[in-house]
Structure 1
Amino acid sequence: MTKTNPGRFFEDFEVGQVIDHAVPRTVSGGERALYQALYPMRHALYSSDEFARGCGLPASPLDDLITFHLVLGKSVPDISLNAVANLGYAEGRWLKPVHAGDTLRASSEVLGLKQNSNGTSGVVYLRTRGVNQRDETVLEYIRWVMVRKNDTEAPAPETVIPELAKAVAPEDLVVPDGLDFSRYDYTLAGEPHRFGDYEVGEVIGHVDGVTIEEAEHMMATRLWQNTAKVHFDATFRPDGQRLIYGGHVISLARALSFNGLANAQMVVGLNGGAHANPCFAGQTVKAWSEVLDKAETGAPGVGALRLRLVAVNDASVGELRGEDGKYLPQVLLDLDYWALVPV
């Protein structure tokens, strides 16, 4: 009997299946330091305990995307070890801040299945939850991933595609307990722009860019204990290239958005997202954002911006799709999220 884990293939999933993922992870300041080394992240709330305390929190939490990467990484050996690509996200909510010393674990429920017409792979829809040591859910989201079949003769499952909300409703966003931006320090945060300075439909080009190095993206992916073969094994793809983990592009783009959105401090909702085209080492990632919506919250001095964050591998701003409706080849990421900003 083999003792190694080949990972699940498409035919191994069933709708309703619940999978508890192995290896809980206790986080520390090390994750924060490595995150800042890997990405040009400068948001003040995640950089300074004193700034966070000035905003009503007990200390600076770990960046929300650290939580996202860690929870997703827990699911990879069970879900996407044999993935072709991670395709998209929906209905994501950050429910509790994560601080150094917290221990995270994760589980996933299979919501839907659809075999591809080529019969060699299929799409798996899952809801993944991250839980801390107090059994509090800190993050939940839906993602769908294309997974290879091992036995191409295995019968196709009944197609089940879950109905997904187009966006997280503003009233369903969770503002962390105690968060108060009424005495927000714009000088220390780095920009003066507040809730009222942004208009729906406004497009912000974030100016800066980062060229992806092979070693950097693999180090980042290992940090999240993400073991998907496509990110490490150059023999796994016919073109001999390692596919950049999509979350790496998300973090790069979010960090680049600081220039123009320095006060979009906390990510609290993930409305949707698509890894529009594959990304490989050597490409230079740039980013732009569009303001899609605005909402008030019940917390003092706190508003919410719904933002589209787009990562591209050229200098284009404001372009997404061609006349055929398909993503343009330079578009790497199209992410729709809610962030908390001072009013």
Structure 2
Amino acid sequence: MAKTNPGRFFEDYRVGDVIEHAVPRTVSGGERALYHALYPARHALYSSDEFARRCGLPASPLDDLAAFHVVFGKTVPDVSLNALANLGYAEGRWLKPVWPGDTLRSTSEVIGLKQNSNGKSGVVWVRTRGENQRGEVVMDYVRWVMVRKHDMDAPAPETLIPELKPALEASDLVVPEGLDFSDYDFTLAGEPHRWGDYEVGELIDHVDGVTVEEAEHMMATRLWQNTAKVHFDVTAREDGRRLIYGGHVISMARALSFNGLANAQMIVGLNGGAHANPCYGGDTIRAWSEVLDKAETPAPGVGAIRLRLVATKGGEPFTRKGDDGKYLPHVMLDLDYWALIPV
């Protein structure tokens, strides 16, 4: 009897399946230190306990994207081990901060299926929840992934494409309990720009670039126990190249956005995202942002700002798509998110 698991293929999914993902993970301060070593992450709320306390929190939480990567990584063996590509995200919300010492686990529900016209693969939509040791949901999100078929003769499932919100409303966002930016220290945060200084439609070039190294990408992917073959095994792709984990690109671009958005401290909503073109070792990631919307929140001194974060490997800044509506070759990531910022 075989004891190993080759992972799920497209024909193995059914709408309504609930998957309890294995191997919960307890996070610590070491997780933060390694995250900050892998990326130029400098947002003050995630760097300093004292800064976080001044903002009404008991201590500095784990970086929002680090928590996302832990929750995401749990899902890979069951959702995307045999993936060809991770295609997008929607309806993502950070519901509670994650603290050093918390233990995170993940559960996913299959909410959509569509076989591709070539009959060799299909798209799987899942809604994933990350919970802490108390059973509290710390985040949830939808993602969809293209998964290869194993049995080409397996019948196609009935197509179901879920209806998803194009963007979260400000009322959907959850501000962490106690967060208060009324005594915010702009000097220690690194920039003077507040909520009122940004205009909808404003474009920000984050200036800096970081070249992706193979070893760093694989270390990050292993840190979050992401076992997708395309990130490690050069025989898993026809071109013989390891694909950089899309989350690595997200975290690098978010870290680069500090230059111009240092006070966009906490990510609380993920409206949508596309890994537009692959990233490989040796590519240099650059980033720019567009202000899409702004909203007030009930928390003292706290505003919400909706941003488009675009990661590129060169090319003209502030360009995403060509006349045909397709992403230009230099665009790697197009991410639409809500962040909290002092007013």
Q: Same fold (TM over 0.5)?
A: yes
Counterpart position of 1:207: 207
Residues 326, 315 of structure 1: alpha-carbon distance in 2 compared, 3 angstrom cutoff: closer
Instruction: Find the counterpart in structure 1 of residue 170 from structure 2.
Output: 170
- After superposition, the C-alpha distances for 1:224-254 in whole angstroms (9 at most, x for unaligned) are 1000000000011010000000000000000
3-state SS, counterpart of residue 235 of structure 2: coil
1:77-156 counterparts in 2 under 5 A? Answer: 77-156=77-156
SS in 1 for 2:278: coil
Q: How far apart in 1 are the matches of 2:289 and 2:323?
A: 21
Give CA-to-partner distance per residue, 1:154-189, whole Å, 9 cap, x none. Answer: 000000000010111100100000000000000000
Instruction: Specify the alignment match of 1:219 in structure 2.
Output: 219
Counterpart of 1:241 in structure 2 is 241
Identical aligned residues as a percent: 79
Distance 1:291 1:338 in 2: 10
Q: Secondary structure in 1 aligned to 2:141? A: strand
Partner of 2:34: 34
Unmatched runs of 5 consecutive residues or more in structure 2 = none
Structure-2 residue corresponding to 1:76: 76
1:324 aligns to what? 324
SS of the counterpart of 1:235? helix
Per the TM alignment, residue 317 of structure 1 is displaced from its structure 2 partner at its CA by 1.4
The one-letter code sitting in structure 2 at the alignment partner of 1:62 is: L
Q: Distance in 2 between matches of 1:223 and 1:105?
A: 15
Q: Deviations over 1:251-281 (max 9, x none)?
A: 0000000000000000000000000001111
- Secondary structure at the counterpart of residue 234 of structure 2: coil
Q: Which residue of 2 aligns with 1:314?
A: 314
Higher mean displacement: 259-268 or 315-324: 315-324
Maintained 8 Å contact 2:9/2:148: yes
Distance 1:168 1:247 in 2: 21
Using the alignment, how far apart are the partners of 2:151 and 2:125 within structure 1? 20
Matching residue of 2:297: 297
Distance 1:256 1:5 in 2: 38
- CA distance in 2: counterparts of 1:44 and 1:130, whole angstroms: 25
* 1:197 partner letter: D
8 A contact 1:286–1:315 mirrored in 2: no
Cα distance between partner residues in 2 of 1:83 and 1:166: 24
**Paired residue for 1:231?**
231
| 1:113 aligned counterpart, secondary structure | strand
Q: Which one-letter code corresponds to 1:265 in the other structure?
A: Q
For 2:303, give the aligned amino acid. Answer: G
Conserved 8 A contact 1:80-1:228: yes
The corresponding residue for 2:340 is 340
Structure 2: which amino acid aligns with 1:156? A
Q: In structure 2, what is the equivalent of residue 183 of structure 1?
A: 183
Alignment match, 1:51? 51
1:255 — aligned with what? Answer: 255
Using the alignment, how far apart are the partners of 2:18 and 2:129 within structure 1?
11
Kindly indicate whether the alpha-carbon contact (under 8 Å) linking 1:43 and 1:262 is maintained by their aligned counterparts in 2: yes
- Residue 303 of structure 1 aligns to a residue whose secondary structure is strand
User: Which letter does structure 1 place at the counterpart of 2:142?
Assistant: I
SS of 1:32's equivalent?
helix
Residues 1:272 and 2:272 are matched in the alignment = yes
Partner letter of residue 104 of structure 2?
L
Once residues 200 and 315 of structure 2 are traced to their aligned partners in structure 1, the CA distance between those partners, rounded to angstroms, is: 23
1:273/1:336 contact within 8 Å kept = yes
Whether contact under 8 Å (2:315, 2:330) holds in the other structure is: no
CA contact (8 A) 1:125 1:143 kept: yes
Does residue 22 (structure 1) correspond to residue 27 (structure 2)? The answer is no
Give the residue type in structure 2 aligned to 1:126: V
Match of 2:63 in 1: 63
Whether the 8 Å contact between 1:121 and 1:149 is mirrored in structure 2 is yes
Question: Does the 8 Å contact 1:167/1:271 carry over to 2?
Answer: yes
In 2, Cα distance between equivalents of 1:274 and 1:301: 32
Per-residue CA distance 1:127-173 (angstroms, 9 max, x = gap): 00000011000000000000010001100000000001011110010
For normalisation by structure 2, the TM-score amounts to 1.00
The Cα shift of 1:316 comes to: 2.4
Measured after TM superposition, the shift of residue 315 of structure 1 is 4.9
Q: In structure 1, how many angstroms separate the alpha carbons of the residues matched to 2:11 and 2:114?
A: 11
Separation in structure 2 between the aligned mates of residue 243 and residue 89 of structure 1, nearest angstrom: 19
Indicate the SS of the match to 1:154.
coil
Q: Distance in 1 between matches of 2:317 and 2:265?
A: 23
User: Would you say how many aligned residue pairs link Structure 1 and Structure 2?
Assistant: 343
1: CA distance between counterparts of 2:317 and 2:184?
Answer: 30
